[in-house]
Amino acid sequence: MSSWTVAIALVLPLIAGAAWLRSLWPEPTPGRWPVILGYGYLLGWVGVTLLLRLFDLFGLPLAPVPIMVFLVLLTAFAIHRISRQPRNDAAIDHRRESPAFPIWQSVLTGAILLWLGLRFMGLALEVWWQPLFPWDAWTTWTLRARVWADLSELVPFISPGAWLIDTTGRAYTIEAWHYPPTVSLIAAWPVLAFGTWNEPLANLPWLGCFLALGLGFFGQARRWGAPPLTAMVLVWLLMSLPLLNTHIALAGYADLWLATALGFAFMSFLLWMRDGDLRDGVWWVLLVVACMLIKVEGLAWAMLFVAAWLGAKLRGVWLPAVLLVVTGLGIALWMSGGIVFEIPWVGQVSLRPDRIELPHIGRFDLAPAEASEPVLRHLFIYDNWHLLFYLLALTLGWGTAHAMRRPTDPAFRAGLAWVVASLLGFYILFFWTDAALWAIQATSTNRIVLHFAPAFVFWTMTVWMLRLTAVEQDKSVFHRTKPVESSTGSEIT
């Protein structure tokens, strides 16, 4: 097939996803189009993988043209819905009357855009020129993509034991045979359109995901109320993180896709808790499902939103009471030997004093581990994260103190609970299980942290915007209550 077919295959997921999001979002609010493009790209690509799986389920070959036609029809239907929406002339006139930026803000915004553009071009050259390098891509993600693209069929990957006794000769095996197929199908889609294996084409969706992350973050920051320059600076802080850039230059890992999906889910959840817009709730559900489809860790990270929901809905004495009850139950279960229970459609969960077993994730033996030095080096000393975790520590301290001193809204409590739960999960994983070896050997520590980086940056923005608002309110109260001297020298109160 021609390069035009590949180009169409690469842009159709974005167009289809963006068209459907736009059909559900007629109001021209600040940040709308960046969110539509960023979220539309991610959801569009996940949708393509589901179509590939659906075609295979019905015994159809993985031919790109029928799937492209289906995407075009979906896009046309979404555009038809958009065309029937009433035109909001008042909102358009309001946007035309919005004040212009000061010249220095325009210059700084342009400089940041130039920097981001040059960085994007450099990463694009890395993706196009460099052969497949990441270890996980060799062993799992791209290996399956090549098999499926070459055969135009989703042949099964099974366990080594099952493969040894398989008599069909059609099954394959790898160590991570049970991992979700989504990321492998993302890599396979442009290759299917090209007609033969091509590593740079398989890696191009990672470049688009990087761009989608920046667009989605900028749009949601604007929706939260950040001025354009503030939102742009925060995008620069996120997109310049060294480890994030590494996952673009060394395309092939699944962690970038999970970081984007989890970050977008977190942003939508906070906006849903703050504004009550049902569409944010729908996008949150879709993105949480995407997390679980992308990587096995996505199921565990989805559980963090339980803590966020409790933080948003419980206030006053109820939240400490629930925490005390949960802690008491945990201690009782621990002393009684643990518990084993079944979750429908998920699997068996085993929580015992000596181990934790989670379905689709694995077993973790519990024992104190001394991994503090490597963890602190990776987060605070090495160049992986710039100064992100110094900023996160300050934000967490101020946010906790603010929550203890003043009444807070559901979105603030949800964000604080989610971040605290995620950090507690890090602590248990790296300090109390055999996964501490991942930190000591530097194999997975930063990749797991990457999953949370976009959410951490967004939450930091929400907290410091609240702090600036609180400072302005304190100044306003001070000026209203400050005594004023009369011309005779006496005070007027």
φ/ψ (deg, to 5) at 163: -65, -35
Tell me if 36 sits within 8 A of 21, measured CB to CB. yes
Is 285 exposed, middle or buried (CB count within 10 Å of its CB: 0-12, 13-18, 19+)? middle
CA–CA separation, 273 vs 169, rounded Å?
A: 52
Q: Find out whether 155 and 168 touch, Cβ atoms under 8 Å.
A: no
What value does the mean pLDDT of the chain take?
Answer: 88
Which residues contact residue 92 at a Cβ distance below 8 angstroms, ignoring those fewer than 6 apart?
A: 28
pLDDT digits (tens, 9 = 90+) for 377-413: 999 999 999 999 999 999 999 998 888 888 889 999 9
Dmax (CA) for the chain in angstroms is 104
Cα-only R_g, the chain: 25
Bridge partners, 349 (sequence order): 341
pLDDT of 109 over the 70 cut? yes
Token reading at 426: 């890090």
Task: List, in sequence order, the alpha helices (H) in 225-277.
Answer: 228-239, 242-249, 255-275
Q: How far apart are CA 356 and CA 350, in angstroms?
A: 6
Please check the confidence at residue 94 and state whether its pLDDT lies above 70: no
pTM tops 0.95: no
Name the least confident of 98-102, 200-204, 405-409, 431-435. Answer: 98-102
Best CA proximity match to 255, nearest among 123, 431, 136, 146: 136
- Whether the predicted pLDDT of 247 surpasses 90: yes
**Smallest Cα–Cα separation from 269: which of 391, 407, 418?**
418
The listed range with the strongest mean pLDDT (16-20, 320-324, 346-350) is: 16-20
- Asked whether the predicted pLDDT for residue 489 surpasses 70, the reply is no
